[in-house]
Amino acid sequence: MSTVQTVTYDEALTILDRLRPPSRTEMVPTTEALYRTLAMPALASVTVPPFHRAMMDGYAISQADISDLSGKTLPVRGVIGAGQTECYELDAGSAVKVMTGAPVPDGTVAVVRKEWCETSPDGRSVTFLESVQRGESVQQRGEDGRVGDPLLTSGTRLRAQDIAVLAAFGVRQVAVHQRLRVGIVTTGSEIVTNLDASLEPSQIYGSNGVYLQLALRDEQCEVPLVQHVPDDPQQLEDVVRSVAGQVDVVLLTGGVSAGDYDYVPGTLRRICKTLAMERVWMRPGAPFVAATHQSTVFFAMSGNPAAAFIQFETLVRPTLSAMAGRPYQPFALTAKLADHVAHKPVKHTRFLRARAAIEEGQLVVHCARDQSPGLIKGLAHTNAIVRMDSHHAEVGQHLSVQMVSSFRNDF
């Protein structure tokens, strides 16, 4: 019998990082790149703004007229609206009416807002009611950026506002990391995956497959395979062999411990020859298998929903995120503990489901009272995971925290 490979949580992260295959990139239209991750920096294709422009409706004036402006009256030579191409050269002793966003005439040093002006009834002259400084309400050409300027760095997950920036600078296409293809294989003869089916005695509805599909969607992964396998070693091996090389990652849940019906570790050992790890010193979720075969990475997690949730959020999600070109450091935040927490002393790192909130300007976490890995209802109230490397913590103590899933960047 081979020795079970047990590693610490931090060692597990290092091992998983080494399992990452090289990422692949592709070019996509900028407007179709929402939530995709940049594989290369995005550079400006045009200068913004491409001309000196007015930032307010008002009157353009020249250098000769800016001094002692209050009370001065000047003739109005013409009007320029946004998008118009009329070209005026502003001479001393005259003004040009301009609209917001319009190009200002050559020689303009300031635009005097219309509310600071009094226009004659026929619109042919304007009297200035206030003085202004040079540069007032004029945006210089290239003030926002010039051709070739870096706009966004590689690793940026594109939000709507990021794409708006790229569009403004004429970026038509961006290089992004290809979406990971991830297969899901749930196991267990007691699991019913069809919610329309009635439960027989000793059966339960499965939640791991549903959770993983939606969590992977949050990571912008493609999920071409979702399959459930009963506790049958041959069926399990057939499925694993059939998906090897077809997807980037396979996530298995259930059958991963050391029981008589826990076939996953042995199956992966036969197919992959060696396992990168079999157990992690963590609670919940100590049984965790990682291996590779034919360019596919396999992660096998607990069948208990809460344990699988912890394993995915603390081990799998960081790895998938790094594979997709946007690595992040788990548990980079600290939060003040709202409750006293005490457990039996063990060498494991504990991960506690919790609810985080900003209270009086501080990030505070409230740990769930019952941390049993077999209980799932509490996940509905969980938006954070607390890391504990000791067996107790006092109220007010600061502990490492990781926000969950979509909440990860909220704080």
- Residue 158 belongs to a domain with what CATH number? 3.90.105.10
**Residue 409 belongs to some domain of the structure:** no
Q: Who's near 320: CB < 8 A, 6+ residues apart? A: 180, 182, 216, 219, 221, 249
**Residue 348 belongs to some domain of the structure:** yes
pLDDT digits (tens, 9 = 90+) for 24-67: 999 999 999 999 999 999 999 999 999 999 999 999 999 999 98
Same domain? 344 vs 268:
no
**Does residue 170 surpass a pLDDT of 70?**
yes
Same domain? 164 vs 41:
yes
Which of 113, 138, 163 is the endpoint of a domain? Answer: 138
pLDDT grade for 410, boundaries at 50, 70 and 90: very low
Same domain? 66 vs 92:
yes
Same domain? 38 vs 113:
no
Same domain? 200 vs 318:
yes
Which of 299, 323, 347 is the endpoint of a domain? Answer: 323
Q: Kindly report whether the global pTM for this prediction surpasses the value 0.95.
A: no
Same domain? 191 vs 159:
no
Which of 292, 323, 354 is the endpoint of a domain? Answer: 323
**Residue 392 belongs to some domain of the structure:** yes
**Residue 361 belongs to some domain of the structure:** yes
What CATH code is carried by the domain that includes residue 348? 2.40.340.10
Same domain? 294 vs 192:
yes
Range of the domain at 295: 6-24+179-323
User: For the chain, what is the mean pLDDT?
Assistant: 93
Are the C-beta atoms of 59 and 94 separated by less than 8 Å? no
Out of 107-111, 178-182, 308-312, 389-393, pick the least confident: 389-393
Q: Residue 100: what residue type?
A: T
What CATH code is carried by the domain that includes residue 74? 2.170.190.11
CA distance 129 to 115: 9
Are the C-beta atoms of 252 and 287 separated by less than 8 Å? no
pLDDT digits (tens, 9 = 90+) for 333-392: 999 999 898 888 888 999 999 999 999 999 999 998 888 888 889 899 999 999 999 888
**Residue 328 belongs to some domain of the structure:** no
The DSSP call for residue 260 is: T
CA distance 147 to 134: 26
CA distance 248 to 296: 5
For residue 243, give the H/E element and its range: helix 233-243
Same domain? 210 vs 270:
yes
Same domain? 187 vs 296:
yes
Same domain? 204 vs 300:
yes
**Residue 62 belongs to some domain of the structure:** yes
Are the C-beta atoms of 353 and 382 separated by less than 8 Å? yes
pLDDT digits (tens, 9 = 90+) for 178-201: 999 999 999 999 999 999 999 999
For residue 234, give the H/E element and its range: helix 233-243
pLDDT digits (tens, 9 = 90+) for 127-155: 999 999 999 999 999 999 999 999 999 99
**Residue 341 belongs to some domain of the structure:** yes
**What one-character-per-residue DSSP string does 59-108 give?**
EEEEHHHHTT-TT-EEEEEEEE-TT-----BPPTT-EEEE-TTPBPPBTE
Same domain? 162 vs 44:
yes
Same domain? 106 vs 156:
no
**Residue 1 belongs to some domain of the structure:** no
Average pLDDT of the residues in 9-29: 93
For the chain, how many structural domains are there in total?
4
pLDDT grade for 4, boundaries at 50, 70 and 90: low
Nearest C-alpha neighbor of 187 from the set 136, 247, 236: 236
What CATH code is carried by the domain that includes residue 310? 3.40.980.10
**Does residue 279 surpass a pLDDT of 90?**
yes
